[in-house]
Amino acid sequence: MSLTVETLARLRTDAGAALLADAAARIDDDPVRTTAALRAAHSPELVAAALTTVRLRQRAATRLGPMADRMFFTPDGAEQVTRTAVAAHRAARFSGVQRIVDLCCGIGGDLLGFAAAGIAVDAIDADPLTAAVAAANASALGFDGLVSVRCTDALTVDLGGVPAAFCDPARRSGGRRTVDPESYLPPYSYVLELLARVSFAGAKVAPGLDHALIPAEVEAEWVSDRGVLVELSLYSRDLATTTRRATVLPAGASLTGDGEPAPVGPIGDWLYDPDPAVVRAHLVGELASSLGAAVVDPHIAYLTGPRVPTPFAKAYQIQDVVPFSLKKLRSALRTREIGRLTILKRGSAVDVEQLRRDLRLRGPNEAALALTRIAQRPVALICSALD
């Protein structure tokens, strides 16, 4: 059983903190013995809530870092929480803002980012337990004076009197991700109204959102963290400084532009595999310009060109280009004594794991293999392994 408002309140007492510490110390022991030992002094509901909290803290640590150890979670809240690095980046986008309304605060990933940047937060969540968890997290991290949390429906907030706001609608229902943005809670139409009416407004939406649904005056920022595309943020006119932006964290580097077409060129010395934020933002053309590179095919996002260090792509030195054939590839990799191979693909339907088995790799060397198509023909680029 996970947390309730009641068990949360008890876990926040000194006795609750001692129980959590005990549960954390025993979490890897035999579960039956651990539960029995903890139940000697506490009710089954409280023990269950403590054990769930410890497990969710462990799971959230990759997204939230060490602060996860002081936080409380609902299972849904832990799934939806914004990563610390992304929340900090977002808070920086609101620099100069003194106070913000977080209209769908969840368990508080974003509000903690705002508070850590010194921005006062009026947070709202429609779910009573989630709101209570957000308040507990603000308190646990020392932001009592800066954060207030209310349980209410964002749709009842008069946007007319709000100078700065952020909204991260729920995008799950029944454990599934919602694809239709109008099924977000609150719906995408509400996000658009927020961006139009509030001067300093931001929203987090799914990175797969159709570009056609983004108003022209809004800045769209696709964000990746450690190579994983994590979100699309939208910013109102007063916060917008460009139309499209790809930001890669933790580097904190941004590529901006309108989506210029990339030139097509012959295969050069280096292959660039652009970061997913660059690809989703449709900024491969801008990346090509910055690198003096070109795409290998007008429909494929691999770039080729000279070696230029960039945070926006992984770069591989090209050793050989062969038409795709299992026999030829196996022989080329055998000759090079390649035992470890990173396989990348764009525009190829090849089953990578099946190919890996079929290649029967052997040898002390390492390489990368990029499968793609050029002018409709399947091609394999044998490259040096990533540094």
Ligand X SMILES: C[S@@+](CC[C@H](N)C(=O)[O-])C[C@H]1O[C@@H](n2cnc3c(N)ncnc32)[C@H](O)[C@@H]1O
Angle between helices 14-26 and 31-39 (to 10 degrees): 160
Site for ligand X in 7-46 (CB under 6 A): none
For ligand X, give the closer residue by CB, 109 or 276. Answer: 109
Q: Helix, strand or coil for residue 130?
A: helix
Among 125, 221, 225, 231, binds ligand X (CB under 6 A): 125
| Per-position b or e across 53-70, b if 16+ CB within 10 A of its CB | bbbbbeebeebbeebbeb
Total of chain residues touching ligand X, rule CB under 6 A: 23
Q: How far is the CB of 114 from ligand X (least distance, A)?
A: 10
Q: How far is the CB of 16 from ligand X (least distance, A)?
A: 22
Question: Of 375, 380, 321, which Cα lies nearest the Cα of 350?
Answer: 380
Q: How far is the CB of 204 from ligand X (least distance, A)?
A: 7
For ligand X, give the closer residue by CB, 181 or 186. Answer: 186
Residue span binding ligand X (CB under 6 A) among the ranges 62-70, 147-155, 283-291, 361-369: 147-155
By DSSP bridging, strand 377-384 and strand 313-323 are: antiparallel
For ligand X, give the closer residue by CB, 108 or 285. Answer: 108
Site for ligand X in 183-242 (CB under 6 A): 185-186
The amino acid occupying position 318 is: I
Each residue 352-381 as x (binds ligand X by CB under 6 A) or -, in order, gives ------------------------------
Q: How far is the CB of 246 from ligand X (least distance, A)?
A: 21
Q: Write 247-252 long-range contacts (CB < 8 A, 24+).
A: 247/89, 247/221, 247/222, 247/223, 247/277, 248/223, 248/224, 248/275, 248/277, 248/278, 248/311, 248/312, 249/85, 249/86, 249/89, 249/223, 249/224, 249/225, 250/85, 250/225, 250/226, 251/311, 252/89
Among 20, 88, 104, 313, binds ligand X (CB under 6 A): 104
Q: Are the beta carbons of 277 and 311 closer than 8 angstroms?
A: no
Q: How far is the CB of 23 from ligand X (least distance, A)?
A: 23
Question: Of 84, 77, 82, 132, which Cα lies nearest the Cα of 106?
Answer: 77
Residue span binding ligand X (CB under 6 A) among the ranges 65-73, 75-83, 92-100, 239-247: 75-83
Q: Are the beta carbons of 121 and 144 closer than 8 angstroms?
A: no
For ligand X, give the closer residue by CB, 34 or 82. Answer: 82
Residue span binding ligand X (CB under 6 A) among the ranges 65-73, 105-113, 193-201, 255-263: 105-113
For ligand X, give the closer residue by CB, 153 or 337. Answer: 153
Tokens of 202: 């931001």
Question: Of 145, 148, 140, which Cα lies nearest the Cα of 102?
Answer: 148
Q: How far is the CB of 130 from ligand X (least distance, A)?
A: 4
130 is a contact residue toward ligand X (CB under 6 A)? yes
For ligand X, give the closer residue by CB, 161 or 364. Answer: 161
297 is a contact residue toward ligand X (CB under 6 A)? no
- Residue 186: asked if its preceding bond is cis (omega within 30°), the reply is yes
For ligand X, give the closer residue by CB, 149 or 278. Answer: 149
Among 45, 69, 127, 193, binds ligand X (CB under 6 A): 127
Contacts for 251 with CB less than 8 Å, ≥ 6 apart = 311
Tell me the C-alpha distance between 246 and 120, whole Å.
27
Among 11, 46, 81, 281, binds ligand X (CB under 6 A): 81
The residue ranges that bind ligand X (CB under 6 A) are: 80-82, 104-110, 124-127, 130, 153-155, 168-170, 185-186
